[in-house]
Amino acid sequence: MHRRARRLSIGVLSVALLAAGCTRTGEDGGTGSENEEAKTQTGSISYQADDNQGPAAAVEGATKGGILTVLRDFDFEHLDPARNYVSNQLLTGGLLYRSLTGYKENGTGELLLVGDLARDPGKDVNGDCRVWEFTLRDGLTYEDGSPITSKDVAYGVARSFAPQLNEGPHYIQQWLYPGGEYNARYQGPYDGGKPAPDGVETPDDKTIRFTFADPHCDMPYAAAMPTTAPVPAAKDTKTNYDLRPFSSGPYKVKSYQRDVALELERNPNWDPDSDPLRTAYPDGFRFTFGLEGAQIAERLVADAPADQAAFTWTDVPPAVLSRTTSGPVAERVVKGPTQYVWVLNINTQRVVDLNIRKALNYAVDKDATLKAIGGRAAGTPATTLMSPTTAGWQEYDVFGAPPGGDSAKAKELLGGQTPELVLAHANTELRTQQAEAVRKSLTERGFKIIMKSIESSGYYDEVGRKNNPYDLYLGGWGADWPTGSTVIPPLYDGRGIGPEGNQNLSYLNDPGISAEIDRVRKLPAAEQDAEWIKLDEKIMRDLVPVVPLYYDAAYVLRGSKVGNAFLSDAFGAIQVNNIYVKQ
């Protein structure tokens, strides 16, 4: 898992684990293979006509038909493309709507970024990465047969500035309005706002142009985020759009009962010839919510007829792990390292004493946090902010504490204090057990910890509020594409902190770090990777906003009739674009 990546550029890339468009996973922590080496993947942005044309390549042996069931412990936080920023939600959203670009993958590690709604991955108009133009394909329609236009894409971008729809990625927004909070100057099309932000033009119904003040050569990757999914203004229900996104993809919402089930059925107006990414073999998907992790694993191990066409994104819990490592069940395990780093976020607004933050890094028993969700099989102890899958990653360890922690050093830094801190956690079984492991080690080493449980389906919304009442909380982050520019700025640039929808969950707001972020961003692409990891170490050494816990691995189960279920290199979970039901 510790192979290093070369710079992901507009040309060819070679990375340890390509991670595009998947961040902030809210799933229960997993049980990956024991210290499994990360496979090396290769990929590129492709402008080859064959790669960009639909239909998607057929999967050998796949058949059309059947319903796939996804067994889940809790409901999605958001499906609205403006608010969608969790890996499993991004995968589900990709069944309902399409972005300008997207990832073509087949499970072999070969990954292509190609045009999705757009004919290709975009045109760098002036050759300086400041003006990007995308041309939509012919014949694109919504679920009602009406045409998808560039103005709908622009409107989708515009509404992502609205304060009430603030939970999604903010790359394009910040590039359009640099230098501070992404929506300080433009807050979307509601309440008399302009229908499109500055820098976004639609000269005709097929063309959308983005103009940035600074170079952004990563725009083809940012365009793969749901920020560029089209939303027709007439169908915009604002905060209720979560419940019924208007489909531009192969499926549409049939029914949605929050916390119970979401059913998707075919969109009869989706044209497979226009789509190079999705095969849409199943007749539909059913997402079942409210199941315990052990219950999900037990059902998939048993493989009863009703569950043979089912799979999960929830990792196998420790209690069931031994029954999945051999025999026929082992053949139905989908596993591997992911791009996520799990940390204990320290709310620096509330925990202002740097020595207390350092003491936390010595006091936490990282082995215990892993044991609670499967031991070293769930991942490996982390010391850095970025994942080893990120371009330019270098190992460092500011504190040098053993994985089990250093009680003496923690108590020395506390100097006789007994800080009382509030530890928040999602209310799933495994996250509760993991938080308890954190509480136990901190309590034994000089802290008083008050536990607070948060409903899982709203966890990141809750800790993403600037005035949240918590001092500590677990969180996982995976690079949206494997460069430090998709980790350090979104997580540690305080200028982007707003009242809600924050990704900077430590609420670190240090002018020196913000200035360094600006400096690194302006460097030539070939020089940025080394500088991001230097800044990674500087943040941990000087400011200590988190306790890095572990580099994540996935270990999930599928039923015996689920075909082509592989771990997506783009999302770190089982992909759904080319999955099928075995007949």
pLDDT in tens, 160-187: 999 999 999 999 999 999 988 899 999 9
pLDDT class of 34 with cuts at 50, 70, 90? very low
For residue 1, the model assigns a pLDDT of 21
Give the confidence band of 32 by pLDDT, cuts at 50, 70, 90: very low
In 26-126, alpha helices (H): 49-52, 87-96
Q: Does 232 lie in the same domain as 363?
A: no
Q: What is the pLDDT of residue 202?
A: 98
Over residues 109-165, the pLDDT tens digits come to 777 999 999 999 999 999 999 999 999 999 999 999 999 999 999 999 999 999 999
> Does the structure show a pLDDT above 80 at 13?
no
Backbone φ and ψ for 520, nearest 5 degrees, come out as -65, -40
CB 149 within 8 A of CB 248: no
The answer for residues whose C-beta is within 8 angstroms of residue 273's C-beta and 6 or more apart is 54, 55, 139
Neighbour-count burial of 177, counting CB atoms closer than 10 A to its CB (0-12 exposed, 13-18 middle, 19+ buried): buried
- pLDDT, tens only, 105-114: 988 877 799 9
- Look at residue 569 and tell me if it is in a domain: no
Residue with tokens 């082992």: 330
* Residue 365 sits in the same domain as residue 224: no
Pairing of strands 200-204, 448-454: unpaired
Does residue 310 form part of some domain? no
Q: Containing H/E element for 526? A: helix 525-542
Determine the average pLDDT of the residues in 358-371: 97
Q: Which of 188, 215, 237 is the last residue of a domain?
A: 237
Q: Are residues 346 and 219 in the same domain?
A: no
User: Using only C-alpha atoms, what is the Rg of the chain?
Assistant: 22
Residue 247: what pLDDT? 98
Does residue 25 fall inside a structural domain? no
Q: Is the pLDDT of residue 15 over 70?
A: no
155 part of a folded domain: yes
Q: Which CATH number goes with the domain that contains 396?
A: 3.10.105.10
CB 463 within 8 A of CB 457: no
- Asked if residue 205 belongs to a domain, the reply is yes
User: In terms of domains, do 501 and 364 share one?
Assistant: yes
- Round to whole Å and give the CA distance between 356 and 304: 51
Q: Are residues 232 and 342 in the same domain?
A: no
Average pLDDT rounded to a whole number, residues 210-220: 95
Which of 186, 214, 237 is the last residue in one of the domains?
237
Q: What does the pLDDT average to over 74-78?
A: 94
Q: Which domain holds residue 477?
A: 338-554
Domain identity same for 357 and 233: no
Span 305-353, pLDDT tens digits: 999 999 999 999 999 999 999 999 999 999 988 889 999 999 999 999 9
The band of 570, judged by pLDDT with boundaries at 50, 70 and 90, is confident
| Residue of 388, 375, 235 whose CA lies nearest to 318 | 375
Cα distance between residue 313 and residue 97, in whole Å:
20
Q: Indicate the pLDDT class of residue 487, thresholds 50, 70 and 90.
A: very high
How far apart, in whole angstroms, are the C-alpha atoms of residue 358 and residue 540?
Answer: 9
113 φ/ψ angles, rounded to the nearest 5 degrees? -90, 120
Domain stop point among 237, 263, 281 = 237
Return all residues near 92 (Cβ < 8 A) that are at least 6 apart.
76, 79, 262, 285, 287, 576
Instruction: Average the pLDDT over 431-437 and give the result.
Output: 96
Question: Average pLDDT of 282-304?
Answer: 97
Average confidence (pLDDT) over 272-283: 98
504 inside domain: yes
| pLDDT tier for residue 212 given thresholds of 50, 70 and 90 | very high
Q: What is the pLDDT of residue 24?
A: 34
Among the listed ranges 72-76, 414-418, 482-486, which one has the minimum average pLDDT value? 482-486
How much of the chain exceeds pLDDT 70, in percent? 92
Split into its structural domains, the chain has a count of 2
Element (H, E) at 270: none
Query: What's the mean pLDDT when you consider all of the chain?
Result: 91
39, part of any domain? no
Residue 345 and residue 230 share a domain: no
Inside any domain, residue 46: no
**Is residue 349 domain-shared with residue 218, that is, in the same domain?**
no
pTM over 0.75: yes
- Cross-strand pairs, 155: none
Q: What is the DSSP string of 233-254?
A: GGG--GGGGGG-PPP-SSEEEE
